[in-house]
Structure 1
Amino acid sequence: MERHSSKWYNVQSVPQSYTFPPEERPGETPIIQICHKIPVIDLEKSLVSSSEKMETIKQLLQAGQEFGFFQVINHGIPEDVMSQTILTFNEFFDMADEQITNVPARKGWIYTGSEQEVKDGVHLWRDNIKHPCHPLEKCMQSWPDKPASYREVVGRYVAEIRKLSLTILELISEGLGIESGYFDEQSQVQLLSANRYPPCPDPSLTLGIPKHFDPSLITIITQGNVSGLQVMVDGKWVCIGAVPNAFVVNIGNQLEIISNGMLRSVEHRAVTNSREARTSIALFVNPTPNCIVEPTKVLLNESNPPLYKFILYKDFINASKAFGIHTDAIQKEA
């Protein structure tokens, strides 16, 4: 079976197999529609003084409460690491058909739009590669070896994201009153998913990724210089702007559980555009498989009882798969 074709999207009109039902289509939502409400948080300020650190924590918690999303700048990851990683994935997706076709299955899950059926025969408008990232040194050996720089560049990127994830989770932990270092052993950068969304002749009919919740603690995303990520805000879909050298961070189901609903996991999706290709890279920071996920006890009292049942993370994932990949599987107390 052909696993990749760089020509599948070179069409004059959207094929029926890529056309979503009317109720699920993004419709006429211009890509320039930007949500200026989503906070952009300067992490460097948390290093200036204790008062600036507390202000940063306040901003993180408020963004998690109101939107479930925020962007971070001055995060400590070198600009060249970000740009080289984007360039490496662009090179990967641009490789000749036969080069990608010959990538062994064990080196990642590579999908084209024609292979990514959502339901009822409808396909996603994207090329995608997924692969595990933990433990990093072991996983790197099974990553693609073309382009030649892939393992080195992407491995360095994942290591940097690991450090950033711990910084963000530590600040959130302090805001929630959880002991310092709680997430050091309880979290892993488990999965990378990189997407190439080609230009689409009619973006109002297609989706790069349908609406969903992330089953992670947090997800850290770079979307380059092209917007396309949309989040549900006040019942409306709005785009998150592509801020130079910023990372988009969203709260996942597990952090919603741990915070007992104080932080929200929010629906989001990816739309296409007719002008240029867009590349995004998402890294999913998850609990360890045997970690018990439950509301942190420091937040619980008579007026704030637990809203969620405790569950092993691996059982949560299995339940999510049973209900479908885009189903919110949070188990609330009856």
Structure 2
Amino acid sequence: MKKYLFIQDHLYGGGAEQICIDTAVALKEKGHDVTVLLLDSNNIRTAYPEDLNLIKFDIAPAFMQGSIKKNKLKSVPLEQQAELTQIINDLAPDTVIAGHSHAFWLAPILTGNVWFWVHGDSLGLVRKQNLGFFKYLEALKKFMQCKKACNYLFKGKQLIVVNQDIKNLIQQHIQEATVKVIHNGIDVKRLKSNLPDDESIMIKKWDAIFVGRLSEEKQPDVAIKAFAESGLTGRMAIVGDGPLLDELIHLAETLGLTKRVDFLGWQDQPNRFIQQSHCLVLPSRTEGSPLIVAESLILNVPVVAFNCCEGVEHQLSSGELAQGLVALNDMQALSQRLYQVVTHPYVIREQDIQRLNISEMVKAIEEL
């Protein structure tokens, strides 16, 4: 038995939060002593079991603001830093896993077998392309600031990343970091806990479904446009909330889809909506190792996705699943593939599903 401590930013309801809880629960079920410490216990939307040891530490609010280039530790009183250190010392964990963004600024005060869990572009090391001159200079300045902060935090440290692209990026820009790729896995029991045992009684309501934050990097507008151009005559579901909601509603109106696109808002259990869909579409320009792709496949719902990172490519690399991969930002190919997969879905085999199970991931965590 080992002692694990997960230091988690928050449980606002995203994929990084879900995989933290799923991993903690899976380790606990294998007999390990597991604690999750929340830096912000407000607005909890990710469910967790009552018997999971959860500490609501609630660090100084300023620590939870801004990007990685900001020295967040300066906003935490020395007394609270000492309190956190004492809690960790009392727990005496064999392994500490800190994520998924703000917690990185605890690096200067964390000691022992500490791993920082990077789920996506939270390090600010991905540079946008095709910018005008002044925007290029602004982006370059931000990149250099993030790179400096990352080297301060992670030089000589240990990082878990969820795809090979992130590992390559870190090795290119951060000195002497140890980086291990562990693709996200799915807690199948949690995923199916609220679903009927007999899938045959499930009525398909939507041809396509988008699930995720309605923000620029997820490109939900691309999902709606691809659906509009696909030739499909059914309905589409949009599950999620975010800053682009009003723009997306207007886009649906402009495309004449008001009566065919259902905006369902944020849902704590999107699995039941996925299961009622013929296909999930993921048009993101960047991802880590998105849970929603693996969850859809496990629910026997095909996925069509931009090949935006090694994480997505890994998830769709088995058997016929590769039919769901589309070149990044190729709108025409996305709409055509969406029609193809909805009308003639590819086969999702048991071995395709098994490789996405959290059990494989937990084995890798135990080896840290």
Query: TM over 0.5, yes or no?
Result: no
TM-score (norm 1): 0.28
More helix by share: 2
Question: Which one has a bigger Cα radius of gyration?
Answer: 2
TM-score (norm 2): 0.26
By relative contact order (CA 8 Å, sep 6+), the higher-ranking structure is 1
